[in-house]
Structure 1
Amino acid sequence: MKIRRRFRIVFKGQRYIVALALFVSISTILFILLSFRTSVYQSFELSSAVLIVDEDDLNDGKIKSTFNLQVLRSDYFNTTHLTCRYPKLTIDNPVIWKHLNPVKPLPPTCEITRNWVYVKNESSIEFLYVTVGTFRLTEEALNRYGPISCAYYPIIRSKDDFGTTEGDRISPVDDKMPLVSDFFRVHCQGQHNTSYSNVHMGIRFDPTLHLRRIKNPIVKTHLGYNILMFGFDSVSRMTFMRFLPKTYSFLIKELGAIVMKGYNIVGDGTPAALLPILTGQTEQELPESRRGRTGAVTVDKFPWIWNQFKDNGYVTQWAEDMQSVGTFQYRLRGFLDPPVDHFGRPFYRYAESRATSRPLCFG
């Protein structure tokens, strides 16, 4: 009896082991199949994405349509009722071309010495595997100059738009460290007295900003698109297509960008070009903010469009180069407080003032 009982116990234990092994095997197979199915579906979804574009945007830029584009005929948008009708222009008009002076390409001086440091969005254990801006050392630098020791200096906005300072030094900096600031200066030492110093830009992950979409969820009827607006001062739509054809083609064919053909400056100067589209009002309709004028105030209280995006759960950013002639700082009093979550002015104010052998070669 004891032998039989022991045999039953052993046999029963073996059945449990076999069952467990089968369960693990089947689960693994299902996981692999589901992962494969998901990756195939995502690849198919990306490869079969169809972008809806305006036929005029293709024709104006002399761009050929491809299989991933659904073209809206030029008469799809009824513009006959518009009071202001923009003229139909062409990029290859010989009458215009004889007055144009294309800029000659400059040699890529920034490539003479490669950066040791770069910023990459990577999954972080510290932030529960959320993708965050990460400090990285290049493989090339590590192989040629390693081991490398770096010091990190956060670049911080002062009390207003006209001051920038450095935060406390962080050293040593580990490769794959999440950024502690959007902008920073880095100084690295390598073997054989080699060194690297530069300023870099990224996006520091701030979990509190991402709580907005929980507190203020987007209405289901809204599209919830990420919205990017690019402005090129003193460059007309036609000039953009003539001298930046690859960029224009990428925006249309790869991103399905919308070209605002009816957009016009309302007045003279950059504020007149941007204030109407960013606030819905002209400079004359907004509070007096010109320097030296009686009662002039900062532009913080203007009805900026990014405030509406914040109210709908968005994370916001504003940046422009050539800070010495900033749109809202050259004639106007600028911002007292940062207007958006990620404000680029401190970076350009700091970086553009640096006297280096490679000006404007930033990280």
Structure 2
Amino acid sequence: MKRGSDGRIEVVYTSPHFNESIKINNTDENIRVECFDNNKESISRSYFAFVRVDPEQERVLGDSYKVHIDKHAPAETLSILMLGIDAMAKQHFARAMPKTKAFLIEELRALEMNKHNKLGYSTSPNIIPLLTGRTNEELTNDTKWKFDSRGWMDQINEAFIWSDARRLGYRTGLVLDQVLVTAFHYLRHGFSRRPVNHYNRPIVVDSIKDKLMRKTKHCYGDEPEITKMHDYWLQLLHKYNSTKTNQTPFFAYR
């Protein structure tokens, strides 16, 4: 992303044309590949987001993780992937989809949050408390945060659960699929600095105006948008395992 912006990208470099393959740098996180016909007309574009490891970042997180282990001696440290899905009301879900509910609880061992209820009528009033433990109003009135709900989300980034995880040495990720209508961007500026270690937003911003490949907003050419998003967090799963001997746990919100 362009420095100081969460809605504009900056192209770092453009490679020479190639026919079969090209070597990319280990630090390249977001790549746009464009194909041309014999008349040099663009006929397709592909967008890729890669999970890269920053050695200096790893050193800092490794030190924090060691302090966490020495202080608390947990039996195991599991990686956490938190999926947020806009859906129907909990009570309506129970009435309309009883088989799905039964499958989630009985087969996938899902936990039902019996006393959890919505706090507002849109995404932000519900997601912000879920991820910080505080409502928008509480964050605004708290002298520690002084949150301007229409400003930059950096003001309260340290209040989010991924920052708690980072302080314990967890690698962190945030996977978003929209530009303007996320809980962090609707009527807000988003983040002026990367809020987590791994952030897929650049390819989302870069591709959203691509009339050639984004003719339907839910696809990247012939690839479903949800597949593109899931591929990113699958990279996190492969990069940072979650076994009992896991030394590099991660927390990601999707």
* TM-score of the alignment, normalized to the shorter chain, above 0.5: yes
SS of the aligned residue for 2:219 comes to coil
Q: Which amino acid aligns with 1:298?
A: W
Aligned-pair CA distance for 1:269: 1.5
Stretch deviating more after TM superposition (353-362 or 319-328): 353-362
Aligned-pair CA distance for 1:227: 0.6
Q: Which amino acid aligns with 2:85?
A: F
Q: Which amino acid aligns with 1:166?
A: V
What's the counterpart of residue 196 of structure 2? 340
Aligned-pair CA distance for 1:312: 0.8
1:203 corresponds to which of 31, 51, 58: 51
- The answer on 1:164 being equivalent to 2:9 is yes
Residues of 1 paired with 2:50 and 2:102: CA distance?
25
The answer to whether the Cα contact below 8 Å between 1:209 and 1:315 also exists between their aligned partners in 2 is: no
Residues 167, 278 of structure 1: CA spacing in aligned structure 2 closer, same or farther, 3 A cutoff? same
Residues of 2 paired with 1:168 and 1:298: CA distance?
28
Aligned-pair CA distance for 1:246: 7.8
Alignment of 1:96-175 (within 5 A): 156-171=1-16, 172=18, 174=21
Residues 188, 310 of structure 1: CA spacing in aligned structure 2 closer, same or farther, 3 A cutoff? same
- The answer on 1:184 being equivalent to 2:184 is no
Residues 342, 285 of structure 1: CA spacing in aligned structure 2 closer, same or farther, 3 A cutoff? same
1:361 corresponds to which of 211, 216, 219: 219
Instruction: Calculate percent identity across the aligned residue pairs.
Output: 22
The answer to whether the Cα contact below 8 Å between 1:214 and 1:313 also exists between their aligned partners in 2 is: yes
SS of the aligned residue for 1:281 comes to coil
2:137 corresponds to which of 284, 305, 317: 284
Residues of 2 paired with 1:178 and 1:312: CA distance?
30
Unaligned runs of 5+ in 2: 140-145, 221-227, 229-254
Residues of 1 paired with 2:55 and 2:92: CA distance?
41
Aligned-pair CA distance for 1:182: 2.7
Aligned-pair CA distance for 1:263: 2.8
Q: Which amino acid aligns with 1:186?
A: V
Q: Which amino acid aligns with 1:315?
A: R
Q: Which amino acid aligns with 1:318?
A: L
Unaligned runs of 5+ in 1: 1-155, 292-296
The answer to whether the Cα contact below 8 Å between 1:161 and 1:336 also exists between their aligned partners in 2 is: yes
TM-score by length of 2: 0.64
Q: Which amino acid aligns with 2:160?
A: W
What's the counterpart of residue 273 of structure 1? 126
Residues of 1 paired with 2:102 and 2:56: CA distance?
36
What's the counterpart of residue 234 of structure 2? none
CA RMSD of aligned residues (A): 3.6
- The answer on 1:221 being equivalent to 2:221 is no
1:298 corresponds to which of 144, 152, 155: 152
Q: Deviations over 1:125-175 (max 9, x none)?
A: xxxxxxxxxxxxxxxxxxxxxxxxxxxxxxx44422122222201345846
Residues of 1 paired with 2:183 and 2:208: CA distance?
16
Alignment of 1:253-268 (within 5 A): 253=107, 257-268=110-121
Residues of 2 paired with 1:176 and 1:168: CA distance?
14
Aligned-pair CA distance for 1:342: 1.3
Residues 228, 176 of structure 1: CA spacing in aligned structure 2 closer, same or farther, 3 A cutoff? farther
SS of the aligned residue for 1:327 comes to coil
SS of the aligned residue for 2:58 comes to helix
The answer to whether the Cα contact below 8 Å between 1:212 and 1:314 also exists between their aligned partners in 2 is: no
SS of the aligned residue for 1:164 comes to coil
Residues of 1 paired with 2:37 and 2:100: CA distance?
38
Residues of 2 paired with 1:186 and 1:305: CA distance?
34
Q: Deviations over 1:307-350 (max 9, x none)?
A: 11111111111122221212122123322211111122222222
SS of the aligned residue for 2:126 comes to helix
SS of the aligned residue for 1:277 comes to helix
SS of the aligned residue for 2:84 comes to coil
Residues of 2 paired with 1:355 and 1:301: CA distance?
34
Residues of 2 paired with 1:284 and 1:311: CA distance?
25
Q: Whose RCO is larger (CA < 8 A, sep 6+)?
A: 2
Residues 288, 313 of structure 1: CA spacing in aligned structure 2 closer, same or farther, 3 A cutoff? closer
TM-score by length of 1: 0.47
Q: Which amino acid aligns with 1:276?
A: P
